Amino acid sequence: MMILRPIQESDYPALLNIAHESGHGFTSLPVNEELLQKKIARSVASFGKQADKPFDEGYLFVLEDTETGEVVGTSGIEAAVGLDDAFYHYHLSKVIHSSRTLDVYKAVDILTLCNDYTGATELCTLFLKDGYRKGANGKLLSRSRFMFINQHRDRFAETVIAEMRGVSNEQGESPFWQWLEEHFFSMDFPTADYLTGIGQKVFIAELMPKYPIYVNLLSKEAQAVIGEVHDNTRPAIELLKSEGFTFNGYVDIFDAGPTVEAKVGNIRTVRNSETRTVKIGESNGGFPVMVANGKLVDYRAAVIELALTDSNEVTLAPHVAAALKVEEGDQVSLVKI
């Protein structure tokens, strides 16, 4: 059985292994032991903190195979980005060059450095090991975060965003960054990406071009990857699109990967979720349903085959209820997968 739960201090070796496996371009999990330990400590503190509005909390979850005890994936939520460190994006928009006298009219794409998503809640750090990219595991790892946000609305902003990994090759080289490096920086993409991941962002403000960049002046290779995702990220962005997330022209400043956004109330999982009372008993199976308790420190979520009736109850087998840390009479949220 696969259970999603908050990360614990004892999960550090597993998180370090995931950081190694995730590779270049996965900014939120740099291979830095001290930083990973701090991430875990921050998450543990965030889950245990009393909060009535989003601030600097960071929530990190892990997906555990209960049969083996192995941690096979992770996902996270940043409550509000950019409140203590500037949160940068490029915004893709157009300017018009026209002359009635010369009968010339041309629309030109430009990239403008901005901080427009300051204060938004960010979905981040989603990674699932190769052998477990099957069944409902990816959906549980991603969509359970929407259940958690919905159950604890005061802790999160109304706008939720997700930065999607942009195009880079096996050596970690990004066509978009290669153009920036040539004209403004003297460091390769993996180094810049790593420095950002460990919180050293001052160089961005110091070296990034301050004025809009005309897209048609970039290399053809750089132009081609603006708003495009890494091959490994395609399933993730398709899932978010199916949840109602949209791309509004914001891209990552390093690899030009797209950032997608949605209002909490418009997210499909949130709209379709319902609350039911737990009844303990034998379940005859049915169709896949994601079930999450309403707890904070003891948050648990899983995908289970259930036969739902028209009543406001849901019957859970004893071992499933124990895994979800619920008892008869407790309330759970559920949504069909």
Tokens linked to 214: 């005309």
CATH of domain 2-90+114-269: 3.40.630.30
Which residues make Cβ contacts (< 8 Å) with residue 214, sequence separation at least 6? 108, 109, 110
What is the C-alpha separation between 57 and 85, in angstroms, rounded?
A: 13
Tokens linked to 196: 């950002």
Domain range annotation of the chain: 2-90+114-269, 273-336
More confident residue, 127 or 77: 77
Could you tell me which of 162, 337, 191 has the C-alpha nearest to residue 254? 191
More confident residue, 143 or 196: 143
Residue 159 — very low, low, confident or very high, per pLDDT cuts 50/70/90?
very high
Could you tell me which of 25, 155, 130, 115 has the C-alpha nearest to residue 72? 130
Q: What is the pLDDT of residue 175?
A: 92
What is the C-alpha separation between 265 and 305, in angstroms, rounded?
A: 26
What is the C-alpha separation between 243 and 162, in angstroms, rounded?
A: 12
Look up the pTM and report it: 0.91
Mean pLDDT of 329-337: 95
CATH of domain 273-336: 2.40.40.20
> How does pLDDT run across 47-81, given as a tens digit for each residue?
999 999 999 999 999 999 999 999 999 999 999 99
Residue 191 — very low, low, confident or very high, per pLDDT cuts 50/70/90?
confident
E strand or H helix at 22, and its extent?
Answer: helix 12-22
Residue 172 — very low, low, confident or very high, per pLDDT cuts 50/70/90?
confident
Could you tell me which of 263, 254, 261 has the C-alpha nearest to residue 89? 254
- Asked if the model's pLDDT at residue 24 lies above 70, the reply is no
Q: What is the pLDDT of residue 171?
A: 75
> How does pLDDT run across 222-248, given as a tens digit for each residue?
999 999 999 888 988 999 999 999 999
Which residues make Cβ contacts (< 8 Å) with residue 96, sequence separation at least 6? 105, 106, 107, 108
Contact between 312 and 276 under an 8 Å Cβ cutoff? The reply is: yes
Among the ranges given (45-54, 129-138, 318-327), the one the predictor scored with the smallest mean pLDDT: 129-138
| Catalytic machinery residues | 230
